[in-house]
């Protein structure tokens, strides 16, 4: 089982990439644990999570091929 993870804004800077793949994660909570293991400073940022382009709250079950995005607040003008 593998999910595609997209990092936006400052989170891409923290991760050093805008795309990464993770295997063997069954939920967004377990994915977050793996990401925090890889990038401990991730916890210092506010962000929203989406699964397959839908904003989610709380722990969401993931399936093979899902796309998870971590998005910090955006500003525009």
Burial (CB < 10 A; 0-12, 13-18, 19+), residue 46, is exposed
CA dist list (Å): 36 to 3, 10, 39, 52: 16, 15, 5, 21
pLDDT at 58: 94
Domains of the chain by start residue, with CATH:
2-71 (3.10.20.30)
Could you read off the pLDDT of 20-72 as tens digits, one per residue?
Answer: 999 999 999 999 999 999 999 999 999 999 999 999 999 999 999 999 999 99
Q: Is the pTM higher than 0.75? A: yes
**Within 13 Å, how many C-alpha atoms sit on residue 75's CB side?**
1
Strand partners, 71: 48
Across 14-64, the runs of DSSP E, i.e. the strands, are: 19-23, 48-51, 54-56
């Amino acid at each position: 089982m593998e999910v595609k993870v997209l990092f936006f804004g400052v989170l891409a800077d923290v991760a050093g990439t805008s795309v990464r793949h993770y295997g063997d994660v069954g939920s967004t909570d377990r994915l977050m644990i793996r990401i925090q293991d890889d990038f401990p400073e991730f916890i210092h940022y506010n962000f929203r999570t989406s699964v397959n382009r839908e904003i989610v709250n709380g722990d969401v079950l993931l399936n093979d091929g899902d796309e998870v995005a971590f998005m910090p607040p955006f500003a525009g003008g």
